Every structure is written in C-alpha cells, then in structure tokens.
Amino acid sequence: MKILIIDDEDSMRHMISVVLKKEGYETTALSDAAKALQTLEGEDYDFILCDIKMPGMTGLDFLKALKTRKSEQTVIMMSAYGAIDTAIECMKLGAYDYISKPFKADEIILTVKKADERERLKRENTRLRDEALKEYDFRNIFSTEDKKMLEIMGLVRKIADYDTSVLVTGESGTGKELVARAIHFSGSRAGNPFVVVNCGAIPGPLRESELFVHVKGAFTDAHKTKDGLFHEANKGTIFLDEVGELPMELQVKLLRVLQEGEVRRVGDTKSVRVDTRVVAATLKDLKEEIKKGSFREDLYYRLNVIEIKLPPLRDRPSDIRALAEHFVARYAAKFGKHVKGLSREAADALLNYHWPGNVRELENVIERAMILEETGQISRESLPIGEKGSVASGSTTQPGNDLSIKRAQEAMEKELIIKALERTNNNKTKAAALLDLSHRALLYKIKSYGL
C-alpha cells in the first residue's frame, strides 16, 4: 500500500516515513504541495498525509485543487495549529480525517488503519452492489423469448429511473419480487437500500410499528424510538408484497406516504420525511377488493400508476426450456456439479407439465433434480413430475385424464403446501413465506385441504 507524505519539515517527513514503513507501507515524502500535484498526475497513491501550514501552496489549497480534479483519493490533514474551524474546512473540501500535531506514532498508525478499513468497506460495498446489479440484470433474471415478457423487460427499463409507484400482479411464483428488484437495481436508486416487506406475514399488532417510525412509550414494548421499514428504505425502494393484506387503518397511512412523502410517528403527532420508491405486488384482484370495501380506491390508483402483469409460465411455453437450462447452470455452479443441460426426454417432460407453481416451481424442480442427478445431463428419472405431467410424489390429478385446470391447480397447491410444511418442520410462518402466501391465507388453505 502506497502513501504520499506532504510536509515542509524534514524531521516530520522522516518520522512519519519511518513509522509507516515499519507497518509495511510504501512511502513517498515531498516538501511541496504543488510538486505533489504533479506527482499525482503520473502515479496513484492509496492515501495522502498532508500538512496544512506550508509555504507556497497550503494544504487547504492542495485540497481545493484535488476537488477540482474530482479526485477520490483519501487525504488525512495534519497541523500544529489545531482548530475546530480548520478541521471543518478540511472536511468540507473532502479530507477524510484531521490530526493535530504533535502526535504520537500510534495516532498516525491508527488513523491510517481506520482509513484503510474504510476503503476496504467501500470496495466491498462496490463489489456487492456490482454483484447485485449483475444478478438482477434482465439477462440473468429472465431467460425469455416470449413477446409479452420482452415487452415487460422494456417497460421496466423505461421506468427504472423514475420514482413512480409500480403495481406488479400475477400468480404466485411468476417472479413479482424479481421484477421489483430489477426495477430497483436498474435505476438511479441501485446503490441504496432495497427493503422487502411481506404485508401478510407481519403479525397484525406489529404491522404499524414495523412499517412506520414509533416513539419510545408508544405501546407496551416500545422501550426506545425505532425507525420503521419505510425509513430503512429511505433513498431506495420498498417492495410491499401482498399489499392487499394491509388492513384499512394502515392503508390510510400508506396513502399519506405516497401523497406527502411523510411517515407519521406511532405515538406522536410529528411526521418524518422519507424519500422511498414504492413497488407493490398482489395476488388479489384489487378492483374486486375495492368493490367488497376491503381496499381503498384512492390507494389503488396511487399504487397503480404503472401496472406490470406477469403472465403464468403455462402461457409462455417457449420459455420453459431456456429457464430450466438457466437454473441448471446456476445450481451446477452452486453445488459444484458437472451437469450441463437437459436430456431430450427431460425437456419433453418439462414442456408437457402444466406448472401451476410457475417459475418458482420450475426452479425447485431443477434444484431437486440437480441434487439427485449423477450423469452429465438432467435425466427424465431425476425430475419429480409424473408421466402425464403431474407431481410424482402423490398428486392424484392426471391432466391426461382430467382436463380441469382448477382441480390440477388445487392438487399442485396442496402438494406445495405439504412440501413447504415438511421443509420448515411444520412452521407455518416460514412455510407461508416459502409459498409466497400470507399467514392467514396459508391457515385457510390448510383447513380447506384438511391438512
């Protein structure tokens, strides 16, 4: 790691160089800030230690010159004339830190190590952001040749940089959250938080306090003031999944956020400004919910500025094989297996299946097949779907004999619920999250299916 030292005192330059070299840093020491600027034109340094009071170009002038160059280098200022005003001026001009002379060797080492840690965290954040951008790039989310899906991809690109509210609709498993993430990570908010809220999974009494700011003493367990999820998503995006599950009193609060950009504190009369984009999703027909009186019409139109309707997988059969091969490649990398593509029989079986669980079900089927597969391709035997397109693990519906879509969907829904409960050791809250259902909806289905 290379450090540039700028100080007009020979003894100070020598002392700092010796201290830092003992810590393994490579140092260059200069007595003139103007010469340092010339040096920086041809060579990069990780950090710069610069004195403030120097003849000719001062340290503050040096900072101003770096600022005009839009340099992002980390600069630590040094001065024997310690003053709060000077330190503030340095920070305004882009300095990372300020040390008052005289200082001990440990102080300079600690300051440099803190700066080093900050830069490491910045690099890590950049790496994670770049990975997220790559992961949620459309080419990696949707392997599609379907005309409708290509139109949706084009629409998402158009709206990504705007703050407009978006309502994503479609059956369970069609990829509503993926679309929300694509909107966020394709736009100007990509470097800021993306917060997911399953409106049906938050216990009723906690919904308001979880979503919005509450003050200390607002209710029994409010031991301190706490920011809600809307505040956590400030400058970013909040994804309200199952928005149709919100009770009326919270719909009013959500409407205020969308209209005023303010969150009212729970237990207080004050509001907090938030800059949060809202993307909502629902399985419900909100127009029908409005007719029933369970969803506000004004909130519906606030949420539904842009609507994205995701088609079920059965309506885009041309995508089934492309998506399957995409998932094969993903899980081959994850599991470290040398499996490439699908056998012809496996591909035919996937194409003949009706996919009531949509893309999520397809991914689960491929993940299971990848675990079981011992050859270089996904074989028909590894796929947990029956000869006629039913689930192999016991569904009684055979689409070859019974052409009822409703009964086929019910059979698959029951099977998925059983699997989710088995996977979560009968934890209904976790199972509801896996199934992309509200807790209440899952309990209703468990009862109706006699599980």
What is residue 242's three-state secondary structure? coil
Distance separating alpha carbons of residues 146 and 251, to the nearest angstrom = 35
Lowest mean pLDDT among 178-187, 193-202, 214-223, 365-374: 214-223
CB 296, CB 183: distance < 8 Å: no
pLDDT in tens, 243-291: 998 988 889 889 988 998 887 665 555 677 889 999 999 988 999 999 9
CB 96, CB 118: distance < 8 Å: yes
- What are the structural domains of the chain? 2-129 (3.40.50.2300), 140-311 (3.40.50.300), 317-385 (1.10.8.60), 392-451 (1.10.10)
Closest to 77 (Cα-Cα) out of 18, 44, 33:
33
More confident residue, 155 or 219: 155
Q: Which long-range contacts (CB under 8 A, 24 or more apart) does 345-348 make?
A: 345/379, 345/380, 346/377, 346/378, 346/379, 346/380, 346/382, 346/383, 347/321
Query: Residue 303 pLDDT > 90, yes or no?
Result: yes
The pLDDT confidence band at residue 224, using thresholds 50, 70 and 90, is low
Query: Residue 384 pLDDT > 60, yes or no?
Result: yes
CB 314, CB 350: distance < 8 Å: no
pLDDT score, position 265: 62
More confident residue, 237 or 447: 237
pLDDT in tens, 84-138: 777 788 888 889 888 888 888 888 899 999 988 888 887 777 676 666 556 555 5
The pLDDT confidence band at residue 396, using thresholds 50, 70 and 90, is very low
Taking each helix axis from N to C end, the angle separating 176-185 and 147-159, rounded to the nearest 10 degrees, works out to 40
pLDDT score, position 406: 60
Mean pLDDT of the chain: 83
Query: Residue 390 pLDDT > 60, yes or no?
Result: no
pLDDT in tens, 3-29: 999 999 999 999 999 999 999 999 999
CB 337, CB 376: distance < 8 Å: no
Over range 319-323, report the average pLDDT.
89
Query: Residue 397 pLDDT > 60, yes or no?
Result: no
CB 342, CB 366: distance < 8 Å: no
Taking each helix axis from N to C end, the angle separating 439-448 and 405-423, rounded to the nearest 10 degrees, works out to 110
Query: Residue 399 pLDDT > 60, yes or no?
Result: no
What is residue 306's three-state secondary structure? strand
Cβ neighbors of 434 (< 8 A, separation 6 or more) are 420, 423, 424
pLDDT in tens, 40-82: 988 889 899 999 888 889 999 999 998 888 777 899 998 876 6
Query: Residue 342 pLDDT > 90, yes or no?
Result: yes
